[in-house]
Amino acid sequence: MPNTDKELRLSTGPDLTIAIAGLGIVGAETARQLVQASDRLSARAGRCLRLVAVSARSDSDRGFDRTGIAFESDALALARRADVDVVIELIGGEGGIALALAETALQAGKHVVTANKALIVHHGQRLAGLAEQARVRLKFEAAVAGGIPALKVLREGLAGNNIRRVTGILNGTCNYILSEMTNTGRGFDDVLAEAQAKGYAEADPSFDIDGVDAAHKLSILAAMAFAEQIDFGALQVTGIRQITDTDISYAGELGYVIKLLGHAQPQSPATVQPCLVAKTGQLAQIGGALNAVEFTAEPVQTVLCTGPGAGAGPTASAVLADVIDVAASRGGLPFGMRVGQLARATQKKDKQARRYYLRLMVMDETGVLSAVTSILRDQQISVESMLQKGQSDDKPVALVLTTHPTAPDQIKAACSSLSSARFISGAVMALPIVDEA
């Protein structure tokens, strides 16, 4: 089946008719923009964009003029309407009604635009196959990094490049917490509570602070960057719950800040984990709730995209950009090539040697330092620097070490041995050090 824009189904009339499922903060903002900024958006699309139907849990006022816009209590009814060309799915969730709506709409020959990262991670390849069969578009720019056009840059702007690495700050909640801890010296729990009060973190923040949200986004980026099938289960994910003000302080003394980074490159497992990033690096400058995605490629070398990664405005911005691309017959295949051409996911082993930051809470007694260095020596780990402050006869004190480049298996084995040592209190913190990011 040849891949040409002319084969893609477009509206039979001058208008591109749109339905929105889900009128939360993103859905309502998207609807407001389609209604209030219709002339501007239509001019950029090259045809009239017209919102004709919406669906939500209740038929209540959402802050936009509903004149001429039908309401459907059943979201699936949007996919069956003859007067709808594009279905925007903003319900959320990896399955359930969101998945049923996307499937039904694509099978009915309608374009689908979504901000639902979980849906794309778990079902994106199958949905992309349905879109290919129906010769319609599946668009999901808003699923990754909010208002940053990361997928568009990767799929279109860098289409002529060999992508060698993708690195990103992909969760605004975590970036806000770590930035505030760095700027104020406060502890994790205190800053998390403030983030929740300000609306930067959910009442249950697990999805964000445990790294799942960032991992969803990274898996989509990696699939597109390296032309591979999504393999979410293979990601190695560590969140920021265990980062303390002690780690933030020592990292600063060593010339680093701590960031939750997603990192992917060919032939290595993708990871989401806290890292020490050199203060002089580009990603170290990304503060607050901002996101950033850095692509390293040939021949372009390095491209950094940054901006707001969540919220009504940034996410609606990405949704609207996808709708305009559909109207203008732009954007191509969902993953940049046909689903059948994506390489099968294979098991990868992380063999890349890197420097590490180690933080141990040790009893302040004679022979501890010698025992620690002995354990590291047994794993052939060379210590680069050591920091220890204060002393206590009855409470553990922090001992911080940095290593020379070390293989991941070596650091894991050393941490296991250290954790079981009688003079160690609590978990051993081991964070990769990123000097160029």
Indicate which residues carry an active-site annotation.
217
State the DSSP code for 252: H
Tokens of 213: 């949200």
- Residue 194's H or E segment, with its range, is helix 188-197
Strand order in the sheet with 15-21: 70-72, 48-55, 15-21, 86-89, 111-114, 138-139
**How far is it, in rounded angstroms, from Cα 177 to Cα 214?**
15
C-alpha closest to that of 141 among 321, 275, 395, 349: 321
**How far is it, in rounded angstroms, from Cα 49 to Cα 319?**
13
End-to-end CA distance of the chain: 41
C-alpha closest to that of 55 among 36, 81, 93, 34: 81
- Inter-residue contact 388 to 399 (CB < 8 Å): yes
114 DSSP β-pair partners: 89
State the DSSP code for 202: -
**Spatial CB neighbours of 366, under 8 Å, sequence gap ≥ 6:** none
Residue with tokens 């790294």: 211
**How far is it, in rounded angstroms, from Cα 350 to Cα 331?**
34
Strands 111-114 and 138-139: parallel
Would you mind telling me the total number of residues written for the chain in this entry? 437
**How far is it, in rounded angstroms, from Cα 136 to Cα 198?**
40
Tokens of 10: 């477009």
**Spatial CB neighbours of 308, under 8 Å, sequence gap ≥ 6:** 146, 147, 148, 172, 289, 290, 291, 314
